[in-house]
Amino acid sequence: MKTLRVLQVGMTPNPGGIESFIMNYYRNMDLNKIQFDFVNMYGDIAYQDEIIKLGGRIYKIPFFKKHPLKNYKEMQQLIKEQKYKIVHVNMLSAAYDLPLIAAEKNGANCIIAHSHNSFSPPGIIRKSMDLVNKSRMLKYATHLFACSEQAGKWMFKENKSKKPVHILNNAIDSTKFSYSPETRVEVRLKYNLHEKLVIGHVGRYQYQKNHTFLIDVFYEIYKRNSKAVLLLIGEGELKEKITEKVKSLGIENAVRFLGIRSDINDLMQAMDVFLFPSLFEGLGIAAIEAQAVGLPCFLSDSIPKEVNITGLVKYISLKSTAETWAITILESMDYFKRTDVSDRIAENGYDIKQMSCWLENFYLLHGSK
**Contact between residue 218 and residue 244 where contact means Cβ atoms under 8 Å apart:** no
Residue in 200, 182, 192 with CA at minimum distance from that of residue 329: 200
**For the residues 74-81, what does the mean pLDDT come to?**
98
Q: β-pairing, 110-115 with 273-276?
A: unpaired
CA dist 355 and 343 (Å) reads 15
In the DSSP assignment, the letter for residue 118 is: S
pLDDT at 185: 97
With pLDDT > 90 as the criterion, what percentage of the chain qualifies?
Answer: 85
Q: What is the pLDDT of residues 331-361, one digit of tens each?
A: 999 889 999 898 899 999 999 999 999 999 9
Q: What is the pLDDT of residues 251-266, one digit of tens each?
A: 999 999 999 999 999 9
pLDDT at 335: 83
pLDDT band at 126 (very low <50, low <70, confident <90, very high): low
What is the rounded (10 degree) CA torsion for 242, 119, 12, 360?
Answer: 140
What is the rounded (10 degree) CA torsion for 79, 58, 96, 15?
Answer: 150
Q: Which domains does the chain have, with CATH numbers?
A: 4-171+351-367 (3.40.50.2000), 181-347 (3.40.50.2000)
Per DSSP (E only), the strands in 131-283 are 143-146, 165-167, 197-202, 228-233, 255-259, 273-276
**For the residues 215-244, what does the mean pLDDT come to?**
98
In terms of average pLDDT, the best of 149-153, 173-177, 271-275 is 271-275
Q: What is the pLDDT of residues 291-300, one digit of tens each?
A: 999 999 999 9
358: alpha, beta or left, given left = phi > 0 and alpha = psi -120 to 50? alpha
pLDDT at residue 169 greater than cutoff 80: yes
Q: What is the mean pLDDT of the chain?
A: 94
